Amino acid sequence: DAGVTQSPTHLIKTRGQQVTLRCSPISGHKSVSWYQQVLGQGPQFIFQYYEKEERGRGNFPDRFSARQFPNYSSELNVNALLLGDSALYLCASSPGDRANYGYTFGSGTRLTVV
């Protein structure tokens, strides 16, 4: 079985631009969560979606948005990029919407804002 796949793996953008990151969960998993990992820190929760509905939102500005599609894949959008948005963006999938199911993480998208 394929794991959690994220695309692209690496991305370089200029300040002020917009970016879309994509995630395909493990087959059968209905929950997708997004995390931001700045170099040298632990991942920070951005969003969780379950059955195409937003179930949780972290402390991130409105420049960050996400959605989940009928096939349970997900996109994370970031508008008006800042240098501080440079990070590894991780997607995690889970069979259900509760933490006790456990989460499987993808390898991430490395975003560099210049």
Partner 1 sequence: AQSVTQLGSHVSVSEGALVLLRCNYSSSVPPYLFWYVQYPNQGLQLLLKYTSAATLVKGINGFEAEFKKSETSFHLTKPSAHMSDAAEYFCAVSEDAGGTSYGKLTFGQGTILTVHP
Q: Return residues touching partner 1 (CB under 8 A).
A: 4, 31, 33, 35, 41-45, 48, 50, 55-58, 90, 92, 94, 97-100, 102-108
- Judged by beta carbon, residue 47 or residue 113, the one nearer partner 1 is 47
- Judged by beta carbon, residue 35 or residue 72, the one nearer partner 1 is 35
State the minimum distance, in angstroms, from the CB of residue 108 to partner 1.
5
Looking from the CA of 11 toward its CB, the CA atoms found within 13 Å total 25
Structure tokens at 68: 């989940």
**By C-alpha distance, which of 54, 40, 36 is closest to 90?**
36
Contact (CB, 8 A) for 49 and 31: yes
State the minimum distance, in angstroms, from the CB of residue 59 to partner 1.
9
- Judged by beta carbon, residue 40 or residue 70, the one nearer partner 1 is 40
Other beta carbons less than 10 A from residue 46's beta carbon: 22
